Amino acid sequence: MEKSMKNDEGIAYGLIAVVMFIGMVALIFICFTPAMNGVIEAANTLIGDGKVGVQTAGAVEWGLGWFGAIPLIALLGIGYWAYIRALEENPSD
């Protein structure tokens, strides 16, 4: 029994899923940005007052770096998913 599709409907649904995923990641990133700005302000105040050590400041900076990487990680993940989905829909025989 042949598994590949004979039309482009599956590809269209895959593109819709990609666009929706990118929109949702952008919305989540936008919603969490004000909270992260609060964390940055609080951390800067504590660092400026000398209440936290160098290791804690480094950990905060590391965490903020990963927050900034969320869009890139999401794009790489959805790109990989779309690539695998395209291969599953139209395999080369």
List, for residues 35-93, the tens digit of each pLDDT value. Answer: 999 999 999 999 999 898 899 999 999 999 999 898 999 999 999 998 888 787 666 65
CA gap 29, 68 in Å, rounded: 9
> What phi-psi label fits residue 78: left (phi over 0), alpha (psi between -120 and 50 degrees) or beta?
alpha
* Residue at 73: amino acid letter: I
Q: Looking at residues 2-31, what average pLDDT do you find?
A: 79
Q: What is the pLDDT of residue 11?
A: 67
Greater confidence, 13 or 52?
Answer: 52
CA angle at residue 53 from 50 to 58, to 5 degrees? 120
